Structure 1
Amino acid sequence: MNLEEITLLCRQATEELINIAKLSPGDLLVVGCSSSEVLGERIGTNSSTDVAGAILEGILPVCREHEIFLAAQCCEHLNRALILERQAALARGLELVNVVPQPKAGGSFATAFYNACQKPAAVEHIRAQAGMDIGDTLIGMHLADVAVPVRLSMRRIGQANLVCARTRPKFIGGQRAHYDQQLL
C-alpha cells in the first residue's frame, strides 16, 4: 500500500466516523496510531514519519472541515499523553503538561500532529466524543464514559487493525425512563 492510498483510506475513515458518530463542531476526536503496524510490523518497532504524515494528511483536513478538534495520542513512553491545539485544551479547562513528542518517544503520528498544530499543547487526560485506533494503540482511556463500537466500511489501514468508537450520554433512570432518540 502506498502513501496516497493510506491518505485516502484515512480521509474516508474519518468522514465515515464523523458522520456515524454525529460529531458536532467543537467535539474531540482522539486518534491513536502505530505507523509500525500500518507497515505490518510490531507496534513500536518501525516508526515511520512518512506513514504518519500520510495518515495525518488524511485525517486533519477532514477534522478541520467539520470543525472537530483532533487529539493525537502519544505512545506509552509518554504515558499516552495527548497532543491537541492549545485553544481546544484551554477551552476545556485541561491541565497542560510539558512534553514534545518525538518519533521514538511519543510516536510518529503524535509528532507529525504536534508539528502541524498552530499552537500545540500536551495534556494527560481528555473525554473525547469519538475515537479512531489505528494499530491497536488502546485509545479507550480517552473516550467519554459510554463508548459504542462503530463499524466502518474498512477494517484496516495498511496492515493495521482499525477500530473506531463513538460515545453517548449515560442512560439514567429505570424501566419507566424515556430517552432522547437523537442522543443514542
Structure 2
Amino acid sequence: MMTPIDQIKQQLSQALQDLHKAFPLTEEALLVVGTSTSEVIGAHIGTNGSHEVAEVIYRELEQLHKDTGVQLAFQCCEHLNRALVLDEKVAKQRGYELVSAIPIRKAGGAMATYAFKKMKNPVLVEEIQADAGIDIGDTLIGMHLKKVAVPVRSRVKSIGEAHVTMAKTRPKLIGGIRAVYEKTDEHE
C-alpha cells in the first residue's frame, strides 16, 4: 500500500512530467515553485508547515534540476513578502537584486526554509520573472511569472490535499490584424 509521502512524490513527479511536456524545462529556464506544505497535508495554508513534505518535494525538484538543468526558485510565504530562494549564481546571472532575510518556517514557510538549508549558495531576491511555475496549495506565484502566463493542465489536480496549478509563459503577441506570428515561406 502506498504511503502518503509516496503518493505526494508520485503526484509531483507526474505533474512535473506534464509541465515539462508542455514547456521544455532546460538550463535556460527558471521554474518558480510555490508550496504550502500545510495544504499538502490537509491543513489551512500557513498553519502546519511540514519538514517531511518539504523534503520529498525538494528531492523531486532537485532531481528535475539534475535531469534537465532547469533553475529553481522557491517562493517564501507572505511574511517575507513572497521573496524567493534561489542559487546565488542564478540570481546574479539574471541581474536580480538580493535582499537580506533568512526564511524560517514561521516567516518564509517550510518549503522555502528547507530549500534555503539544502541549496549550496542560497540567496533571497524580492522578485523574478520565471519562465514556468508550479503552485502547490494556491500560494499565488503569478507575480513571479513573465507577463504572458498560459495555464498548463495536468492529469494531477492535487498533490496530497493541495490544489495544484501550473503555468508556462510565452512572448507577448504584439501588432494588429496585419501582424504575423509564425514564420512561413510565404512571409519571407
Quick check: TM above 0.5? yes
Partner of 1:22: 24
Moved more, 18-27 or 94-103: 18-27
Consecutive unaligned residues of structure 2, counting only runs of 5 or more, are 184-188
TM-score (norm 2): 0.92
SS across alignment from 2:47: coil
Q: How many angstroms apart in 2 are the aligned matches of 1:97 and 1:140?
A: 20
In 1: Cα distance, 2:60 partner to 2:5 partner = 10
* Whole-angstrom distance in 2 between the partners of 1:56 and 1:11: 11
Deviates more, 1:15-24 or 1:116-125: 15-24
After superposition, the C-alpha distances for 1:146-174 in whole angstroms (9 at most, x for unaligned) are 00000011100000000000000000111
Counterpart for residue 106 of structure 1: 108
What percent of counterpart residues are identical?
Answer: 48
Greater Rg over alpha carbons, structure: 2
Distance apart, 1:63 and its partner CA: 2.2
Is there any run of 5+ residues in structure 1 with no aligned partner, and where?
none
CA distance in 1, matches of 2:10, 2:149: 26
Q: 1:14 Cα deviation (Å)?
A: 1.6
**What is the match of residue 5 of structure 2?**
3
Q: Distance in 2 between matches of 1:26 and 1:61?
A: 17
Deviations 1:53-98 (A, max 9, x none): 1111122211221010000000000000000011100000110111
TM-score by length of 1: 0.94
SS in 2 for 1:162: strand
Residue 158 of structure 1 corresponds to 160
Aligned residues: CA RMSD: 1.2
SS in 2 for 1:17: helix
Q: Which residue of 1 aligns with 2:52?
A: 50
